[in-house]
Amino acid sequence: MALIVHKYGGTSMGSTERIRNVAKRVSKWVRAGHQLVVVPSAMSGETNRLLGLAKELMPEALSTEARRELDMIASTGEQVSVGLLALALQAEGTPAVSYTGWQVPVRTDSAYTKARIAAIDDARIRGDLAAGRVVIVTGFQGIDELGHVTTLGRGGSDTSAVAVAAAMKADECLIYTDVDGVYTTDPRIVPEARRLATISFEEMLEMASLGSKVLQIRSVEFAGKYRVPLRVLSSFTPWDIPLDEEARSGTLITFEEDEKMEQAVVSGIAFSRDEAKITLVGVPDRPGVAFQILGPVAEANIDVDVIIQNVSHDGRTDFSFTVPRGDYARVAEVLKTQVLPGMEGTQMTGDPKICKVSIVGIGMKSHAGVAARMFRSLSEERINIQMISTSEIKTSVVIDEKYMELAVRTLHRAFELESAPAA
Amino acid sequence: MALIVHKYGGTSMGSTERIRNVAKRVSKWVRAGHQLVVVPSAMSGETNRLLGLAKELMPEALSTEARRELDMIASTGEQVSVGLLALALQAEGTPAVSYTGWQVPVRTDSAYTKARIAAIDDARIRGDLAAGRVVIVTGFQGIDELGHVTTLGRGGSDTSAVAVAAAMKADECLIYTDVDGVYTTDPRIVPEARRLATISFEEMLEMASLGSKVLQIRSVEFAGKYRVPLRVLSSFTPWDIPLDEEARSGTLITFEEDEKMEQAVVSGIAFSRDEAKITLVGVPDRPGVAFQILGPVAEANIDVDVIIQNVSHDGRTDFSFTVPRGDYARVAEVLKTQVLPGMEGTQMTGDPKICKVSIVGIGMKSHAGVAARMFRSLSEERINIQMISTSEIKTSVVIDEKYMELAVRTLHRAFELESAPAA
């Protein structure tokens, strides 16, 4: 008997018919003798519908008070899902009970619309599991110290599932989604893209953070921190395929490098359109200037990604960084009101039409010249590189958005990702 | 400065445009210096949509566990409403915060789908009012001792509003709805029906309990118990009509009989289609038999309304009662499994196609012959009376459903309700 966490995405929960299939699949695992905790997303389209209503009414300046109300509204999508799935399980004869984030409770900080999980109390869940019930927990949400509802931001249900698995010390966390695993890159852009049977935690972290939509990045961080065995697999296989087969399908995220079976230099190509670039031209080149610029941005709870500071001329330098595209206007506002007034002679420019393309691979650690091969391939296609950022296992370039598909296809071919590496 | 509770029905909250109007109306009251607590219903259609989804998935036997999940699902409609209204108020520049039933908390028993309010903690609401915020509280729901979400049953938001007004000792509770007050009967059936400027609490209680849909009966009970000044008025007047005019509109429910301005013998005609009749034929006529029959029905949490026991022949009697039509099948099941096996020779019959029509009026107390006039009017129209039930201020008859409109029109005319009584 194992303790298993299942997570189902919005598409898998998209209709009562699909919810019934999820219930049948979960019941199959229960009949095999396992204890199940299930974290379903809101029905597909529901969160957008709710936020669409909110958008029609909300004030222009999105205050903390308004963000709190957005969470109040958006969190209901998952509450409906857990109730419906509990009913479907009960109809299958499988005892089940649902809990919201505040009922568990899943404790978070108070950063409404993008809260972070602080702790999960597992007592209530354990009690129900011991009583033979499937426990269904809302993803995406929690409760802060003041008793307000919080949400974790888009894709937060993955994080909830992994956090629950970590808190419960679950044997495995299975992320059922509308793709059947992690690919070398998005097959919609590169038809030859290949599914990986395993991927290392570090690579997955880079893939997730670089825009691969398969898993939400914080869920991967959580999985790494607490060493939660994590598997991404398809929710569109028939619910009644043999459990053994299902349990081995998809992509397993591994923690032991030695176990890594595929020794490619580069494992995958990640990309993200959701980027915007800000450049401050003529910044005084003095100690503390980076903090002076990025401190207020961080305080506004905006994630800065790639940061570049060019060499100085006459005591002045250019400072560029990228942010999520949705935060572009807000960053510009923060800089205009809080930073530029203290920096005479500095000009701000920006470009919301950029993208980031990255090569990711554990193998890069021990192979020189990988980045050079990337730059050469792009230059052969006359794609101009605007910014570069590197780590031990990835190299990212910021380029004009219109070249994104071309860059991804070029790099996929350059690193021969369409064919499986030699064992 | 007064403390005012506003309640808005689902139609008033039916679109973002209407929610914006509610926000403007509430803001007008705030600008006049009042403290406001607002209890909005779910957007019209939303509760039905949610329960429709649930119905597709739920098990046939509606266990306590399944009812708990229904409440989990249904309660989200109001949660969305309060968040949207808070945003709309903030957009108007009116500080506002929303709370769910569990956040207040509104404590209830555990009778899922028809819970009763046990207590309301007003500390949190008072704190926000003192800080100058409009407090928006979800109607229809609460939390039980085990921390599960409960709902109060259909129309429960009226009850929530009055219960909040009682707990806060509010100066007045205004129920904004899609009709502009309480009428002598439903104008859709009798076009000459007249709006009452005032109605006594007892009459309103009978009108509500007898099927007048204007106010939910438990809300009237609450108002009576805690003497909450209650006004039913239209939410479709322009939001910017003078506050004085708005505050005097609709129908006021009064508690002092002396204050009663309209001294008609009969104040109104109520009716209800939502009825079904059960008859047990040949029940042993012995002490305790009524409890033997109705005890299990009460335990199944089904409200019994009219009860008739005929005279006994040869130690056997006929026992009839009415229940809400939606509980008809469940009552039959309870009787078949728990009552009939202990009553040899007793047969069960039933009729789900009946209705109840009632005349209501404080004036009946001091006027003889009112019931006789009712029976004569109905007999002149050849409407057969199946059951009769009376109290000090109302007389109800159970008749075939198909005669309902005819009976209501006949009685409205017989008691001259189309013309205002002499002052």
**How confident is chain A (423 residues) per 10-residue block, as mean pLDDT?**
95 96 98 98 96 94 94 97 98 98 97 94 97 97 97 88 95 92 89 91 80 76 89 94 95 72 76 91 85 89 84 83 92 94 90 93 79 90 88 88 96 90 54
Q: Which of B 224-263 lie inside 8 A of A, CB atoms?
A: none
Q: Contact, A111 vs A144, CB < 8 A?
A: no
Chain A residues touching residue B20 (CB < 8 angstroms)? 57
Can you read off the two tokens belonging to residue A380?
Answer: 């052969």
- The secondary structure element, H or E, covering residue B107 is strand B106-108
Chain A residues touching residue B69 (CB < 8 angstroms)? 83-84, 86-87, 90, 98
**Number of Cβ atoms within 10 Å of the Cβ of B269:** 30
Q: Is A282 left (phi over 0), alpha (psi -120 to 50) or beta?
A: left
Tell me if A72 and B102 make a contact (CB, 8 A cut-off).
no
What pLDDT, on the 0 to 100 scale, is given for residue B380? 92
Chain B residues touching residue A19 (CB < 8 angstroms)? 57
d(CA A287, CA A284): 9
Note the pLDDT tens digit of each residue in B183-235.
999 888 999 999 999 898 888 888 876 656 678 778 888 888 899 999 999 99
Strand partners, A388: A397
Q: What is the mean pLDDT of chain B?
A: 91
Q: Contact, A85 vs A19, CB < 8 A?
A: yes
Tell me if B58 and A87 make a contact (CB, 8 A cut-off).
yes
- The secondary structure element, H or E, covering residue B166 is helix B156-168
B315 pLDDT tier (thresholds 50, 70, 90): confident
Residues belonging to chain B: 423
For residue A338, count CB atoms less than 10 angstroms from its CB and return exposed for 0-12, middle for 13-18, buried for 19 or more.
middle
d(CA A325, CA A332): 11
The DSSP code for B365 is: G
**Mind telling me how many Å the CA of B240 is from chain A's nearest CA?**
19
Tell me if B59 and A91 make a contact (CB, 8 A cut-off).
yes
Q: Contact, A94 vs B65, CB < 8 A?
A: no
B-chain residue closest to A91, CA distance = B59
Give phi and psi for A28, each to the nearest 5.
-60, -45
- Report the DSSP pairing between strands B251-254 and B198-200: parallel
Note the pLDDT tens digit of each residue in B360-377.
988 787 777 888 889 999
Tell me if A76 and B73 make a contact (CB, 8 A cut-off).
no
What pLDDT, on the 0 to 100 scale, is given for residue B378? 92
Give chain A's radius of gyration (CA, Å): 23
Chain A residues touching residue B148 (CB < 8 angstroms)? 103
Written in H, E and C, the secondary structure of chain A is: CCEEEEEECCCCCCCHHHHHHHHHHHHHHHHCCCEEEEEECCCCCHHHHHHHHHHHHCCCCCCHHHHHHHHHHHCHHHHHHHHHHHHHHHHCCCCEEEECCCCCCEEECCCCCCCCEEEECCHHHHHHHHCCCEEEECCCEEECCCCCEEECCCCHHHHHHHHHHHHHCCCEEEEEECCCCEECCCCCCCCCCCEECEEEHHHHHHHHHCCCCCCCHHHHHHHHHHCCCEEEEECCCCCCCCHHHHHHCCEEEECCHHHCCCCCCCCEEEEEEEEEEEEEEEEECCCCHHHHHHHHHHHCCCCCCCEEECCCECCEEEEEEEEEHHHHHHHHHHHHHHHHHHCCCCEEEEEEEEEEEEEECHHHHHCCCHHHHHHHHHHHCCCCCCEEEEECCEEEEEEEHHHHHHHHHHHHHHCCCCCCCCC
Tell me if A86 and B69 make a contact (CB, 8 A cut-off).
yes
For residue A385, count CB atoms less than 10 angstroms from its CB and return exposed for 0-12, middle for 13-18, buried for 19 or more.
middle
Q: Contact, B370 vs B265, CB < 8 A?
A: yes
In the block, tokens 């019934």 appear at: A20
3-state helix, strand, coil in chain B (%, to 5): 40, 25, 35
Q: Closest CB to A66: pick one of B20, B90, B103.
A: B90
Chain B residues touching residue A23 (CB < 8 angstroms)? 57
Q: Closest CB to A87: pick one of B66, B83, B97.
A: B66
Tell me if B57 and A97 make a contact (CB, 8 A cut-off).
no
Chain B residues touching residue A90 (CB < 8 angstroms)? 58-59, 63, 65-66, 69
Q: Which of A2, A44, A6, A42 is nearest to A25 (CA)?
A: A6
**Mind telling me how many Å the CA of B38 is from chain A's nearest CA?**
15
Q: Closest CB to B83: pick one of A60, A72, A96.
A: A72
Best of A19, A38, A73 to disrupt the B interface (most B CBs within 10 Å) is A73
B-chain residue closest to A56, CA distance = B16
Q: How far is CA A421 from CA A196, A231, A263, B96, in A?
A: 11, 21, 6, 60
Chain B residues touching residue A66 (CB < 8 angstroms)? 87, 90
**Number of Cβ atoms within 10 Å of the Cβ of B285:** 17
B-chain residue closest to A84, CA distance = B54
What pLDDT, on the 0 to 100 scale, is given for residue B423? 44
d(CA A302, CA A333): 12
In the block, tokens 């003041």 appear at: A146
Q: How many CA atoms lie within 13 A of B356 on its CB side?
A: 31
Q: Closest CB to A69: pick one of B66, B75, B87.
A: B87
Give the alpha-carbon dihedral of B222, B225, B229, B234, to 10 degrees.
30
Note the pLDDT tens digit of each residue in B72-119.
999 999 999 999 999 999 999 999 999 999 999 999 999 999 999 999
Q: Per-domain residue ranges for chain A?
A: 3-179+214-259, 268-414
What pLDDT, on the 0 to 100 scale, is given for residue A279? 92
d(CA A239, CA A242): 9
- Report the DSSP pairing between strands A35-40 and A134-137: parallel
Can you read off the two tokens belonging to residue B14?
Answer: 């039916």
Tell me if B79 and A79 make a contact (CB, 8 A cut-off).
yes
Give the alpha-carbon dihedral of A196, A201, A206, A209, to 10 degrees.
100
Kindly provide the ipTM of the predicted complex, given to two decimals: 0.78
Q: Is B296 on the interface with A (CB under 8 A)?
A: no
Tell me if B79 and A83 make a contact (CB, 8 A cut-off).
no
Q: Which of B157, B169, B267 is nearest to B210 (CA)?
A: B267
Beta strands in B219-369 (DSSP E): 230-234, 251-254, 268-284, 307-309, 316-324, 347-360
d(CA B41, CA A339): 45
What pLDDT, on the 0 to 100 scale, is given for residue B55? 96
Statement: residue B154 has pLDDT above 80: no
**Mind telling me how many Å the CA of A18 is from chain B's nearest CA?**
11
Tell me if B68 and A103 make a contact (CB, 8 A cut-off).
no
d(CA B239, CA B28): 8
Q: What is the CATH T-level fold of the domain A3-179+214-259, as seen in this structure?
A: Carbamate kinase (3.40.1160)
Q: How far is CA B294 from CA B297, B306, B325, B331, in A?
A: 5, 12, 17, 10
What single-letter amino acid sits at A279? T
A-chain residue closest to B74, CA distance = A80
- Report the DSSP pairing between strands A268-284 and A198-200: unpaired
What pLDDT, on the 0 to 100 scale, is given for residue B46? 96
Tell me if B58 and A16 make a contact (CB, 8 A cut-off).
no
Can you read off the two tokens belonging to residue B42?
Answer: 């779910």
At the fourth CATH level, the homologous superfamily of domain B268-414 is: VC0802-like (3.30.2130.10)
Beta strands in B22-99 (DSSP E): 35-40, 96-99
Q: Which of A 116-175 lie inside 8 A of B, CB atoms?
A: 147-149
d(CA A7, CA A175): 5
Give phi and psi for A149, each to the nearest 5.
-75, 140
Average pLDDT over residues B319-347: 92
Q: Closest CB to B103: pick one of A80, A87, A147.
A: A147
Statement: residue B271 has pLDDT above 70: yes
d(CA A387, CA B127): 52
**Mind telling me how many Å the CA of B416 is from chain A's nearest CA?**
48
Best of A51, A55, A79, A90 to disrupt the B interface (most B CBs within 10 Å) is A90
Q: Which of B 51-110 lie inside 8 A of A, CB atoms?
A: 53-54, 56-60, 63, 65-66, 68-70, 72-73, 75-76, 79-80, 82-84, 86-88, 90-91, 95-98, 100, 102-103
Contacts A–B by Cβ distance under 8 A: 117
Tell me if A53 and B84 make a contact (CB, 8 A cut-off).
yes
- Report the DSSP pairing between strands B134-137 and B96-99: parallel
- For the packed helices B76-91 and A46-57, what is the interaxial angle rounded to 10 degrees? 30
d(CA B137, CA A168): 34
d(CA A61, CA B84): 16
**Mind telling me how many Å the CA of B333 is from chain A's nearest CA?**
20
Q: Closest CB to A57: pick one of B75, B84, B103.
A: B84
Strand partners, B120: B106
